[in-house]
C-alpha cells in the first residue's frame, strides 16, 4: 500500500520515493511508488498535477489501496525518483475544499440540509444540497462564510479512536482505510474527509457564491475561492467599467443605465414595427389586385415579408412570393396562396436554386441561392405554366 505523505503534511511540495511498479497501459504508463504526496482524484476533485523526475504526471488515481501515477514514459522499477507537485494547482484546490467545509457546515447548521454532491472543477466548484435556499439566503451564507475566513481559524485534523467515534457528531460519515479522519473548523464544521486541507481559514482568501439553481429536488451552488474569486472579480470589474464608459454613467449606476437603454430599444422596436406596417400598406396599394405577384424586398425584416404576403393575398392576389436577402447568401422566401397548393412550387424552386424549406399548402418558407433576375424569370415561366 502506498504511503500517503499528504496526510503527514498537506504542504509537502517535493519528495523522494522508490518505484515499486511500472505498467504500460492504453493511456500511457502507470507508476506506483512506495510513498507519494500526490493526492488522487477523489472526493469530488481531480488528481494532483506535477512531475516525477521531470516527467509530467498526467493523472493520479487510487486502485486496490495503491496510488497510481499516469505518465507518458516509464520509470525504472527500484529507482529513486523525485516528485514535485504543481503547488499553485494544489493550493488552489485546498482553498476550494476548505471553503466547501465552511459553506456546507453553515448550511447544515442553519437549514439542516446535507451536502449530497461536491465537484471541484478546473474553473469552479459546485455544491449540491438536498433542500431549498433562496438567493437572499445565499447572500447571507456568503457573508457569514467570509467572516470565518477573516477569523483565520485553525483547520484541525483529528483521528479519533474507535471508542470515541460513537460519541462524535460529524457530517459525511466516511470510513477510511487508515481510520476515520475528521476535519474540524471550530464553530462551523466537523466532517469526515480524505482530502488535503489548508492549515488556517485565512488562506482561503475569499469565498464567492456566484450562482444558485434548482437541482434534483434541492439546489446546486457555484462557488469560487481565492485566486479564482479574484479573477472573476477582475473580469466583471472590467465589464462594468466598459459598460459604464459606453453608457456614460457611473459604475454603480450601470444597472439603471442598461435598464434605460433596454427601454429605449423597446421603444424603437415598436416604432420600427409601426413604420414597417405603414411601408407594407403603401407597397400593397402599388400592387395589382390579382394574378401572380413576385416581390423582392430589401428593407423588410422579421415578420414583415409574411405580413406583406398576407396583405397581398387579402387584396386578391392569386399567389404571392416575397424574397428578401439571406444573412449568408442568396434569399429567404415566403410564398403563399388562398386558392392553390404552393408546396409543389417550393419543391421545384428548391431543386432549381439549391434551396431548402417547406410548409403547409397555403404557405411555405425557405432559402435559395441565386440572383434576383434568375429567380424572377424562373417564377414567371414556372408559375405561369403551372
Q: What is the DSSP string of 176-242?
A: -TT---EEEETTTEEEE--S---SBGGGG--EEEEEEEEETTEEEEEEEETHHHHHHHHHHHHHHHH
Residue 178: predicted pLDDT: 56
Higher pLDDT, 283 or 37: 37
Edge-to-edge order in the sheet of strand 189-192: 156-158, 182-185, 189-192
Q: Is the pLDDT of residue 279 over 90?
A: no
Of 259, 254, 227, 224, nearest to 242 (Cα)? 254
Architecture (CATH level 2) of domain 285-385: Roll (3.10)
Chain-centroid distance, C-alpha 292? 51
Q: At what angle do helices 135-150 and 87-111 cross, to 10 degrees?
A: 120
**Would you say 72 and 10 are in contact if contact means Cβ atoms under 8 Å apart?**
no
Q: Tell me the H-state helices in the chain.
A: 5-8, 87-111, 135-150, 162-165, 227-247, 254-285, 304-314, 343-352, 372-385
Virtual torsion, Cα 209, 214, 220, 221, nearest 10 deg: 0
Cα within 13 Å of Cα(342), Cβ side: 24
CB 125 within 8 A of CB 225: yes
* Position 294 pLDDT exceeds 90: no
- Give 6-16 pLDDT, tens digit per residue: 999 999 999 99
Distance CA 88, CA 44 (A): 19
Q: φ and ψ at 217, to 5 degrees?
A: 80, -5
- For residue 170, the model assigns a pLDDT of 86
Range ranked top by mean pLDDT from 148-152, 330-334, 367-371? 148-152
- Indicate whether 383 pLDDT > 60: no
Mean pLDDT, residues 90-110: 96
Q: Give CA–CA dist 142/137, Å, rounded.
A: 9
Is 193 or 68 the better-scoring residue by pLDDT? 68
What are the structural domain ranges in the chain? 3-85, 91-234, 285-385
Split at pLDDT 50, 70, 90, the class of 90 is very high
Between residues 363 and 318, the one the model is more confident about: 363
Averaged over 374-380, what is the pLDDT? Answer: 86
Which is more confidently placed, 161 or 230?
A: 230
Give tens-digit pLDDT for 114-128. Answer: 999 999 988 999 999
pLDDT band with cut points at 50, 70 and 90 for residue 180 = confident
CATH of 3-85 given 2.60.120.260, 3.40.50.300, 3.10.20.30, 2.40.30.130: 2.40.30.130
Percent of the chain past pLDDT 90, that is, above it, reads 72
Question: Look-up: residue for cell 514535485?
Answer: 84
Segment 370-384 mean pLDDT: 80
Give the pLDDT score at 236: 94
Q: Which position has the higher pLDDT, 269 or 384? A: 269
Alpha-carbon span 16 to 332, nearest angstrom: 69
Asked whether the predicted pLDDT for residue 371 surpasses 70, the reply is yes
**CATH code for the part of the protein at 91-234:** 3.30.980.10
Contact 276, 290 (CB under 8 A): no
**Confidence band (pLDDT; 50, 70, 90) for 157?**
very high
Which pLDDT score, from 0 to 100, does residue 288 have? 62
Q: Report the distance separating Cα 151 and Cα 186, nearest Å.
A: 11
Average pLDDT, the chain: 91
Query: CA-CA distance, 210 to 216, in Å (whole number)?
Result: 19
Q: 3-class DSSP state for residue 168?
A: coil
pLDDT in tens, 309-353: 998 898 888 889 999 998 777 899 999 999 999 999 999 999 999
pTM (predicted TM-score)? 0.74
Report, as an integer, the average pLDDT of 52-75. Answer: 96
Q: Which residues contact 53 (CB under 8 A, 6 or more apart)?
A: 75, 81, 82
- pLDDT at residue 175 in the model: 52
In this prediction, residue 290 carries a pLDDT of: 62
Amino acid at each position: 500500500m502506498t504511503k500517503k505523505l499528504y496526510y503527514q503534511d498537506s504542504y509537502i511540495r517535493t519528495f523522494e520515493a522508490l518505484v515499486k511498479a511500472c505498467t504500460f497501459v492504453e493511456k500511457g504508463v502507470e507508476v506506483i511508488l512506495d510513498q507519494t504526496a500526490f493526492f488522487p482524484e477523489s472526493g469530488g476533485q481531480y488528481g494532483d498535477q506535477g512531475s516525477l523526475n521531470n516527467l509530467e504526471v498526467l493523472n493520479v488515481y487510487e486502485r486496490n489501496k495503491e496510488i497510481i501515477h499516469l505518465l507518458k514514459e516509464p520509470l525504472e522499477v527500484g529507482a529513486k525518483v523525485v516528485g514535485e507537485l504543481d503547488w499553485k494547482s494544489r493550493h488552489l484546490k485546498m482553498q476550494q475544499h476548505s471553503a466547501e467545509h465552511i459553506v456546507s457546515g453553515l448550511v447544515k447548521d442553519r437549514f439542516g440540509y446535507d451536502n449530497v454532491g461536491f465537484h471541484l472543477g478546473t474553473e469552479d466548484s459546485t455544491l449540491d444540497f438536498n433542500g431549498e435556499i433562496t438567493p437572499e439566503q445565499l447572500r447571507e451564507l456568503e457573508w457569514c462564510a467570509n467572516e470565518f475566513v477573516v477569523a483565520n481559524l485553525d483547520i484541525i485534523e483529528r483521528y479519533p479512536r474507535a471508542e470515541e467515534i460513537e460519541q462524535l457528531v460529524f457530517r459525511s460519515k466516511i470510513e477510511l482505510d487508515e481510520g476515520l479522519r475528521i476535519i474540524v473548523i471550530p464553530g462551523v464544521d466537523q466532517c469526515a474527509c480524505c482530502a488535503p486541507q489548508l492549515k488556517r481559514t485565512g488562506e482561503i482568501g475569499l469565498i464567492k457564491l456566484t450562482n444558485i439553481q434548482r437541482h434534483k429536488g434541492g439546489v446546486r451552488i457555484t462557488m469560487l475561492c481565492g485566486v479564482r474569486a479574484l479573477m472573476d472579480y477582475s473580469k466583471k470589474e472590467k465589464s462594468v467599467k466598459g459598460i459604464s464608459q459606453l453608457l456614460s454613467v457611473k459604475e454603480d449606476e450601470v444597472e439603471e443605465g442598461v435598464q434605460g437603454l433596454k427601454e429605449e430599444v423597446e421603444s424603437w422596436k415598436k416604432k420600427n414595427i409601426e413604420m414597417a406596417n405603414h411601408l407594407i400598406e403603401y407597397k400593397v396599394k402599388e400592387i395589382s389586385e390579382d394574378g401572380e405577384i413576385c416581390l423582392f424586398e430589401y428593407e423588410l425584416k422579421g415578420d414583415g415579408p409574411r405580413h406583406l404576403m398576407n396583405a397581398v393575398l387579402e387584396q386578391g392576389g392569386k399567389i404571392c412570393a416575397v424574397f428578401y436577402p439571406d444573412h449568408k447568401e442568396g434569399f429567404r422566401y415566403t410564398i403563399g396562396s388562398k386558392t392553390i397548393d404552393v408546396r409543389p412550387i417550393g419543391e421545384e424552386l428548391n431543386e432549381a436554386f439549391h434551396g431548402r424549406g417547406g410548409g403547409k399548402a397555403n404557405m411555405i418558407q425557405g432559402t435559395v441561392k441565386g440572383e434576383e433576375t434568375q429567380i424572377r424569370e424562373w417564377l414567371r415561366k414556372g408559375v405561369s405554366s403551372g
